[in-house]
Amino acid sequence: MTRRRHLPNDDDISAFREALTAAGVRRIATNQADPGKPKQDGKAHEARRHAAVQSDAKQVSGRTSDGRVEAVRPSEYLEFSVVDLPLRTFSQLKRGQTAWQSGLDLHGYTLEEARTELESFLRDSASQELRCVLVVHGKAWGTTSDFPVLKSHTNTWLREWPGVLAFCSAVPVDGGTGAVYILLRKRGL
């Protein structure tokens, strides 16, 4: 047995609308809620921003160690990634399928100059929101040292840098084991 639905007539609709108007009910402009913006303490926010700018200006160097590092061989393949980096992303980086957007060549720099340049380059890359960069450290075949100094230090420095998600030796066309691709965080540090 089907039930017939009672449809309101025009008089019922008019009476309903008059009752709503008399009760002070008004039509809303949109059918979406407006949660509003959370209120922020402007002074505290400005103080935090000022402190961050001041500490960044004072910190020219220091994110990377200048102590002893683990020596690597000239032709050794370098690789590192944070634990939660997707395997597919790291695999694409290792195959050279992630296009690098900027590069730095450390040939000819002293150890301290290379460290300063690398830190500056990583900071600049993060501020420009670059995702992948290339750093050429060389293999140091012609040096008197027992190991490639810049390559070994670059390996250590990049592991310590908080904005680095992963790095690995480049494919041969981009420098092979004498260069590294560096995958940076989307919001660099």
Number of domains making up the chain: 1
Mean pLDDT of 39-48: 65
Label residue 34 by pLDDT band (50, 70, 90): low
162's tokens: 């908080």
The residue range of the domain holding 150 is 79-184
102 within a domain of the structure (yes/no): yes
For residue 57, the model assigns a pLDDT of 46
pLDDT tens digits, one per residue of 153-178: 999 999 999 999 999 999 999 999 99
By CB atoms closer than 10 A (0-12, 13-18, 19+), residue 140 is middle
75's tokens: 């032709």
- 32-33-36 Cα angle (round to 5): 135
Output phi, psi for 15, to 5 deg.
-65, -40
Please state, in angstroms and rounded to a whole number, the distance separating the CA atoms of residues 29 and 47. 39
5 within a domain of the structure (yes/no): no
CATH number where 142 lies: 3.30.1370.110
63 within a domain of the structure (yes/no): no
2 within a domain of the structure (yes/no): no
Mean pLDDT of 51-67: 54
pLDDT tens digits, one per residue of 91-124: 999 999 999 999 999 988 888 999 999 999 999 9
21 within a domain of the structure (yes/no): no
- Among 14-23, 59-68, 133-142, 154-163, the minimum mean pLDDT is found in 59-68
Percent of the residues in the chain that have a pLDDT greater than 70, as a whole number: 75
| Contacts for 45 with CB less than 8 Å, ≥ 6 apart | none
> Could you give the maximum distance between any two Cα atoms of the chain, in Å?
101
115's tokens: 């460290």
165 within a domain of the structure (yes/no): yes
Laid out side by side, the sheet with 79-81 consists of 79-81, 164-169, 179-184, 132-136, 102-105
15 within a domain of the structure (yes/no): no
pTM higher than 0.75 for the full model? no
146 within a domain of the structure (yes/no): yes
